[in-house]
């Protein structure tokens, strides 16, 4: 399912995804993930539970794609720590969806924002060396 969601995202949001570097694809996934969470918060506030469910389902799928792209051999402890954080985020997103809890969505965003910021801070000359 995660691969179907990624393919759908690539077709609708990224246009020329085949031309994007792996670094850029991950950056776009992080942005879309945070966008999904923000939209889900708005949907909860508006009591639009179908929209909330769709947004959080997409967010969980993106987390699955990010987690499956980790290289545990090369990434070692960093990959393990990211995997643990992704699992935490997925579980919190499920809880937030069940409970319609905006605070839990904020908790997930607070975990993801520093990861995204770190990713975005990788210097251009090092982006081609990025492995998952």
**Over the stretch 70-104, which tens digit does the pLDDT of each residue have?**
999 999 999 999 999 999 999 999 999 999 999 99
pTM: 0.82
Confidence at 20, pLDDT banded by 50, 70, 90:
confident
Q: Residues 79, 26, 16, CA angle at the centre, nearest 5°?
A: 155
pLDDT in tens, 31-69: 999 999 999 999 999 999 999 999 999 999 999 999 999
CATH architecture for the domain at 2-124: Up-down Bundle (1.20)
């Amino acid at each position: 399912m995660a691969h179907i969601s990624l393919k759908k995202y690539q077709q609708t949001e990224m246009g020329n995804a085949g031309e994007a570097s792996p670094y850029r694809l991950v950056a776009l996934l992080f942005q879309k993930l945070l966008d999904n969470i923000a939209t889900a918060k708005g949907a909860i506030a508006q009591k639009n539970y179908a929209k909330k469910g769709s947004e959080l389902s997409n967010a969980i799928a993106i987390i699955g794609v990010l987690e499956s792209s980790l290289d545990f051999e090369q990434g070692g402890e960093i990959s393990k720590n990211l995997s643990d954080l992704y699992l935490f985020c997925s579980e919190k997103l499920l809880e937030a969806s069940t409970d319609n809890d905006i605070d839990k969505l904020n908790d997930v965003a607070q975990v993801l924002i520093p990861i995204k910021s770190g990713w975005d801070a990788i210097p251009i000359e090092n982006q081609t060396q990025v492995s998952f």
